[in-house]
Amino acid sequence: MKFFIDTANLAQIKEAQDLGVLDGVTTNPSLMAKEGITGEANVLDHYRAICDIVDGDVSAEVISTDFEGMVREGEILAALDEKIVVKIPMIKDGVKALKYFSNKGVKTNCTLIFSAGQALMAAKAGASYVSPFIGRLDDISTDGLGLIESIRLIFDNYAFDTEILAASVRHPMHIIECAQIGADVITGPLSAMEALMKHPLTDIGLATFLADHAKANS
Ligand code: E4P
């Protein structure tokens, strides 16, 4: 299972990279805005800076919603670095753009997936990744993890190469359940990954080991 971090914050990306378990980064226009990155030149520079930190795939999202615009933007993004994956929204022109980039051998991530039908269409168009947003589905009392299960079944039935990138992950249980279901990738905040390492019995056990060692060696 791959771990992507869902942020445009360079310090957090570096921290996750230094942990040694990071496989990539996902960003979106809201995350870029949150870091105060505005204007095309600054946005492109920021993607270059992210690519300099990580070893794996870096999803960079197009802003256009028409086919020509998505192709134009996607080509500029893809030319930045071989790690760039062009992130395209699940809309009709987006499906055409996924097919265009798939034919050209450019990796894509189809974002804003909220149904199995959308994931199937993206896979048919040759998307490298589909991003079902499980947290946002949970937010409206819908079964986010159930969607991952449905997509897993469909992709396995037909041996689609498209990877399931569980997005909008909010907490460690999302990651564990995605791993049980068989999502290929999760993307979420650093806090969710760090929480996987925590257990109170680990802390108590370590404190006891260190105290016993100190007593025996005093
Ligand atoms: C996916 O690529 C998105 O950037 C993301 O996971 C959205 O998460 P959110 O619902 O926490 O904003």
Cβ atoms within 10 A of the Cβ of 105, count?
8
Averaged pLDDT, 146-171: 98
Fold classification of 2-192 is: TIM Barrel (3.20.20)
Residues annotated as catalytic are 87
Backbone phi, then psi, for 126, in 5-degree steps?
A: 90, 20
pLDDT tens per residue, range 67-120: 999 999 999 999 999 999 999 999 999 999 999 999 999 999 999 999 999 999
**DSSP class of 109:** E
Backbone phi, then psi, for 26, in 5-degree steps?
A: -120, 145
Number of H helices, E strands in the chain: 11, 8
Question: For residue 217, how far is its CA from the centre of ligand 1 (angstroms)?
Answer: 50
Question: For residue 72, how far is its CA from the centre of ligand 1 (angstroms)?
Answer: 24
Side-chain half-sphere exposure of 73, counting CA atoms within 13 A:
23
Question: For residue 213, how far is its CA from the centre of ligand 1 (angstroms)?
Answer: 45
Averaged pLDDT, 12-25: 97
Residue 118's pLDDT is 98
Joined together, the tokens standing for residue 206 give: 């370590």
Residue 94's pLDDT is 98
Q: Best substitution site from 2, 90, 187 to test ligand 1's pocket, by max atoms within 8 Å of Cβ? A: 187
